[in-house]
């Protein structure tokens, strides 16, 4: 049984391949056009993603590869390799070990890839554009959400035709249940990329949108309540009530705080009203006790907003019934609802505050929040059928944390100092240091190294900044479950993760994989030998704007001036080759 592919996802080359007459006209002229059209728009990233996935999957059939019924994507916001290593040592030391030999739960995953986290116009990525890459498979401009290259920061009109679909919308199109669990605001950068399209990550409520754009562009919270796929997400857990309440309303927990909406709307009530109107059993909760009482048998959609802004760092969390659930507790409850869907589910879990602690140069909370994600993962591993659930743990970008010492002994306290003092100034130094951030002092800070003081310690940085920047190096992606070793390997772009997940779970644009009677088309040797985004440097020149300018990884913490740098145009032979080969594949199927 063969099925014609959905033309929405077909490259022009594939359409021409379906028709021999058009195909003859196509050939050289189209090739020429393709070279000029490959400008890092969504088609480019779709082609790159497909090529990377197909190169890894090879010619193996559907029967050989199988399919992921469920997907859990866990995002450690701001986790780089150093954070990973240090968190592992911290975990071991918390259990009375020396630490280095310990393992994080994802250390045991069979598949590992390194991913590139730059944004279209920024060498060092930030969360919303990185999350767009991760969740939509398309690289984005700095501080935009759910938009392709045509979405320009702060430009409302640029978002109209640049919207890209996410794994959440793809999962919903396949009838899956969907959920988002985070300890940041649910409208914050990473979760927003799962359902929203915004020219600015800061447009979490209408007050942040410039007055002239308020009618034309919906804020992120409203998109979650009113638009697809946001309004269809079964479970939304996190913080950020302030973006849901009107200015006249006071917060139920922080009574001195009021809502931030200028349109007078209470979106929590609107969310409940929409579900009632559609005959959906829905519930809203805002503390741990209320969440614990949710009976999955009686409810299908849940909104949990547990904090006025971000949820507290776990080290500071009120763990009582009137307090807030942990990330693991939210994940467990979310799974109990999502697992009711016989077609499977897609769940995004974010430990979003690793990043914030690093911005403060506070490694204690950063490592603690990493272990918070591990606890959530352990809950997932306990709760799901691992044979049919693809679990991916990755990060959106790194941070400027370093871990260094000279002859530092095994078991040296991870928040402590090196055993030898500096051979220049004769003073002790922490083994965990930062490249920049608020930890800079002159003369440099001398760590006290007293047990118990590490929780609030701000470690030294080399360069003063109010908030530390992100790091630009590759971050790891670990996978376990169906197609893990087949898809997650080598160095790949962050966008490939979305394609790999969609391929494994047979979401659009890869539904054909599970719909062609189990057969896949062999990939030609040419494509296998062509490594477009991985081994080649794409040649191009900056065009327009102030090409070559510097973009600062300001992220959530400051409002640094943004330099609008347009990505270079590309003429990758591999991009065209993969298009052509993909076209052949479609034509055959």
For residue 311, CA distances in Å to 11, 54, 95, 318, 325 come to: 43, 40, 26, 10, 9
Half-sphere exposure of 490 toward its Cβ, with a 13 Å CA cutoff? Answer: 14
Instruction: Report the first-to-last Cα separation within the chain, whole angstroms.
Output: 10
Collapsing DSSP states into helix, strand and coil, what is residue 134?
helix
Active site residue 569: no
Please answer whether residues 92 and 99 qualify as being in contact, where contact means their C-beta atoms are separated by less than 8 angstroms. yes
Name the residue nearer to Zn ion (CB basis): 355 or 368.
Answer: 355
CB of 374 to Zn ion, least distance (A): 20
Residues 6 or more apart in contact with residue 532 via CB below 8 angstroms: 47, 48, 51, 52, 572, 574, 575, 577, 578
Sign of the C-alpha dihedral computed for residues 330, 332, 337 and 341 taken in this order: positive
Name the residue nearer to Zn ion (CB basis): 350 or 355.
Answer: 355
CB of 470 to Zn ion, least distance (A): 6
Name the residue nearer to Zn ion (CB basis): 164 or 553.
Answer: 553
What's the CA gap between 223 and 446, in Å, rounded? Answer: 48
CB of 217 to Zn ion, least distance (A): 24
DSSP states of 226-272: HSTTGGG-SEEEEE-GGGTSBTTPBPSSSTT-B--BSS---HHHHHH
Name the residue nearer to Zn ion (CB basis): 400 or 530.
Answer: 400
Please answer whether residues 139 and 133 qualify as being in contact, where contact means their C-beta atoms are separated by less than 8 angstroms. yes
Binding site for Zn ion (CB under 5 A): 355, 555
Q: What are phi and psi of 224, to 5 degrees?
A: -70, -30
Name the residue nearer to Zn ion (CB basis): 286 or 467.
Answer: 467
- Active-site option among 16, 127, 398, 569: 127
User: Which of 491, 489, 488 is closest to 504 using CA atoms?
Assistant: 488
Collapsing DSSP states into helix, strand and coil, what is residue 482?
coil
CB of 556 to Zn ion, least distance (A): 5
Please answer whether residues 434 and 462 qualify as being in contact, where contact means their C-beta atoms are separated by less than 8 angstroms. yes
Which residue intervals of 232-352 are DSSP H helices?
A: 267-277, 288-292, 327-338
Collapsing DSSP states into helix, strand and coil, what is residue 21?
helix
Name the residue nearer to Zn ion (CB basis): 183 or 480.
Answer: 183
Q: How far is CA 177 from the centre of its chain?
A: 19
Would you give the DSSP letter of residue 198? B
CB of 555 to Zn ion, least distance (A): 3
Name the residue nearer to Zn ion (CB basis): 115 or 555.
Answer: 555
Tokens at residue 222, please?
């409203």
CB of 358 to Zn ion, least distance (A): 7
Name the residue nearer to Zn ion (CB basis): 355 or 533.
Answer: 355
Please answer whether residues 411 and 333 qualify as being in contact, where contact means their C-beta atoms are separated by less than 8 angstroms. no
CB of 19 to Zn ion, least distance (A): 48
Phi-psi region of 307 (alpha: psi -120 to 50; beta: other; left: phi over 0): beta
CB of 432 to Zn ion, least distance (A): 18
Residues 6 or more apart in contact with residue 34 via CB below 8 angstroms: 13, 575, 576, 579
Name the residue nearer to Zn ion (CB basis): 213 or 436.
Answer: 436
Residues 6 or more apart in contact with residue 396 via CB below 8 angstroms: 75, 77, 78, 117, 125, 127, 130, 131, 134, 190, 475, 494
Q: Using CB atoms, what's the residue nearest to Zn ion?
A: 555
User: Which of 165, 51, 134, 188 is closest to 475 using CA atoms?
Assistant: 134
User: Which of 303, 189, 293 is closest to 238 using CA atoms?
Assistant: 303
User: Which of 344, 338, 350 is closest to 171 using CA atoms?
Assistant: 344
CB of 327 to Zn ion, least distance (A): 18
Please answer whether residues 129 and 122 qualify as being in contact, where contact means their C-beta atoms are separated by less than 8 angstroms. yes
CB of 174 to Zn ion, least distance (A): 32
Q: Find where tokens 């950020």 sit.
A: 240
User: Which of 240, 236, 230, 138 is closest to 184 using CA atoms?
Assistant: 240
Tokens at residue 131, please?
């999350």
Active site residues: 127
């Amino acid at each position: 049984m063969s099925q014609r592919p959905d033309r929405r996802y077909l490259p022009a080359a594939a359409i021409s391949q379906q028709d021999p007459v058009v195909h003859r006209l196509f050939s050289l002229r189209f090739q020429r056009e393709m070279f000029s059209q490959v400008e890092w728009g969504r088609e480019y990233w779709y082609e790159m993603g497909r090529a990377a996935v197909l190169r890894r999957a090879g010619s193996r059939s559907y029967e050989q590869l199988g399919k992921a019924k469920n997907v859990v994507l866990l995002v450690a916001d701001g986790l780089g390799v150093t954070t990973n290593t240090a968190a592992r040592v911290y975990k071991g030391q918390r259990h009375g070990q020396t630490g280095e030999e310990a393992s994080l739960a994802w250390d045991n995953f069979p598949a590992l890839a390194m991913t590139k986290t730059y944004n279209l116009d920024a060498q060092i990525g930030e969360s919303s554009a990185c999350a767009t890459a991760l969740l939509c498979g398309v690289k984005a401009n700095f501080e935009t959400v759910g938009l392709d290259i045509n979405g320009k920061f702060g430009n409302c009109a640029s978002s109209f035709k640049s919207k890209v679909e996410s794994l959440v919308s793809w999962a919903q199109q396949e009838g899956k249940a969907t959920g988002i669990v985070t300890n940041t605001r649910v409208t914050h950068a990473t979760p927003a990329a799962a359902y929203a399209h915004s020219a600015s990550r800061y447009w979490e409520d209408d007050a942040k949108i410039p007055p002239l754009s308020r009618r034309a562009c919906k804020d992120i919270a409203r998109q979650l309540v009113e638009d697809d796929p946001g309004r269809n997400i079964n479970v939304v857990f996190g913080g950020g009530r302030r973006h849901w309440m009107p200015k006249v309303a006071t917060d139920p927990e922080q009574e001195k705080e009021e809502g931030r909406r200028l349109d007078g709307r209470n979106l929590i009530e609107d969310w409940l009203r929409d579900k009632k109107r559609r005959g959906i059993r829905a519930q809203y909760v805002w503390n741990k006790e209320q969440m614990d009482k949710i009976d999955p048998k009686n409810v299908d959609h849940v909104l949990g907003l547990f904090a006025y802004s971000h949820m507290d760092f776990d080290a500071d969390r009120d763990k009582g019934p009137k307090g807030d659930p942990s990330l693991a507790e939210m994940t467990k409850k979310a799974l109990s609802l999502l697992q009711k869907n016989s077609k499977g589910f897609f769940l995004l879990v974010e430990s979003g505050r690793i990043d914030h602690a690093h911005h403060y140069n506070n490694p204690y909370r950063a490592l603690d929040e990493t272990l918070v994600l591990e606890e959530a993962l352990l809950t997932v591993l306990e709760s799901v059928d691992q044979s049919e659930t693809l679990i991916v743990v990755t990060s959106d970008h790194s941070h400027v944390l370093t871990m260094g010492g000279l002859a530092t002994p095994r078991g040296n306290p991870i928040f402590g100092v090196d055993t030898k003092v500096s051979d220049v100034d004769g003073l002790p130094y922490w083994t965990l240091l930062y490249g920049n951030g608020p930890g800079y002092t002159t003369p440099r800070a001398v760590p006290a190294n007293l047990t118990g003081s590490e929780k609030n310690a701000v470690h030294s940085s080399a360069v003063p900044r109010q908030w530390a920047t992100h790091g630009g190096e590759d971050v790891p992606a670990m996978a376990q479950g169906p197609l893990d070793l087949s898809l997650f390997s080598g160095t790949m772009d962050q966008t490939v993760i979305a394609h790999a997940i969609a391929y494994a779970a047979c979401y659009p644009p890869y539904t054909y994989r599970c719909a062609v009677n189990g057969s896949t088309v062999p990939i030609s040797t040419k494509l296998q030998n062509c490594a477009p985004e991985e081994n080649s440097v794409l040649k191009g020149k900056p065009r327009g704007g102030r090409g070559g300018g510097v973009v600062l990884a300001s992220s959530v913490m400051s409002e640094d001036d943004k330099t609008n740098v347009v990505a270079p145009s590309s003429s990758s032979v591999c991009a065209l080759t993969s298009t052509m080969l993909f076209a052949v594949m479609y034509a055959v199927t």
